[in-house]
Amino acid sequence: MNHLMAVILAAGEGKRMRSKNSKVVHKACGKTLIEWVCQAVESAGVDHSVLVVGHRADQVKECMGDKVKYAFQTEQLGTGHAVMQAEEYLKDKDGYVIVLCGDTPLITAETVSNTIEYHKSNNNSATVITADLDDPTGYGRIVRDVNGNVLKIVEHRDTNDQEKNIKEINSGMYCFNIRDLLEALKALNNNNSQGEYYLTDTLEILINKGLKVGAIKVKDSNEILGINNRAQLAEAADILKKRILNRHMMAGVTIIDPGSTYIDEEVQIGIDSVIYPGTVLEGRTTIGEDCIIGPNARLVESRVGNGVEITNSVVLESSVDDDTHVGPFAYIRPGSKIGKQVKIGDFVEIKKSVIGDKTKVSHLTYIGDAEVGKNVNLGCGVVVVNYDGSKKHKTVVGDNAFVGCNVNLVSPVVVGDNAYIAAGSTITEEVPENSLAIARERQVIKQDWVIKKGIQKKK
């Protein structure tokens, strides 16, 4: 049986990131660097992946869980040494293994697939993924023979004048026949200035044995970019963002200003929706068709129906159903469910609450831990007083209720269907359906009180 496997190198400390975290768990467009690489491998049809971990291995394992196997490199003794640690998963297997770097999030499934097919069709023992760079300084050069076969890889510091002019560089990513790789690893040594085992040396070992080593060049050199610092992380994230935005636009979404729009990789958006500038869409957010999102909206892990408009507002881990309008300046906190044809207006905050269809919460209102029915009107300045200083309590407002301006609903309390609450009331007891509740002092006028107090201001 021919196996198709991947070994992904993710053990490095990444000192230039200036971080206490593993380099490969830093995120770009909603996914960690290692997730981007593993996604490319999985999409290319690779059967099994092995991550070689070391520094902060706990973080990498927490990120990837049981989706992959793990090999541990306790000492950082080079790329060849790292691959050696995965030997237990490779031994006694026929087939192919692709070796990738865990800090190259721009590698695509297409490139992985093309590399494997090229490797097979050319009967190579090893295939190097390469790229042409205008300035190859610092990279190992690919030296080929007249037939295009790889003769050797020369590190930049070891190049002669002729080799310095070679533009094709080594990406550090390869495809091997599994058995040939294992034999070459046995012949590796660390007789070099760094005292490390270099995976590149396996190519020369294979060539000296008369085996064929080829190279496949990526169309876009960005794919091989590795992340070594925060500036490079931002550069890679920008490239990923452009890919994501382009995918959505090609699928029928209008993005007014791609330069000021941020969308995570797992976001889904329906056709004919319009995304305005300053919008941030994160996590597994889904947006339906014919929506208007933004300007300056942020949605995280939320579900939005069809025909929804969200303007200058934040929606976190919540759902907003069809034909609802949110904003401007609304704040929908986690656990909220907003129904169809609802109006959530300016400076309204909803926290862990259900808002029924056709309900209007137009402005300056807080609703927390509540169930609000259908076709309810909540006036300006309504506050659900859900916290007694130690516990949260629930408020229920029935269908077709009308709650006047500046009303406090002190939880736990129930307002029945079709009930009315007069403006300025503080409600602490149940309001039966079809009732009017008034909870305020009768107005008292004291004539000339200001004069008697001597506090009248002179003109």
Q: 256 - beta bridge partners? A: none
Tokens representing residue 317 in the block? 């881990």
List CB contacts of 274: < 8 A, sequence separation 6 or more: 253, 254, 256, 291, 292, 293
> Could you give the maximum distance between any two Cα atoms of the chain, in Å?
111
CB 271 within 8 A of CB 287: no
Nearest to 26 by CA among 53, 69, 60, 72: 60
DSSP states of 82-122:
HHHTTHHHHTT-EEEEEEEETT-TT--HHHHHHHHHHHHHT
d(CA 102, CA 201): 20
The structure tokens 């237990």 sit at 88
Q: Which residues are catalytic?
A: 363
Surface-to-core class of residue 110, CB atoms within 10 Å of its CB (0-12 exposed, 13-18 middle, 19+ buried): middle
Tokens representing residue 2 in the block? 């021919």
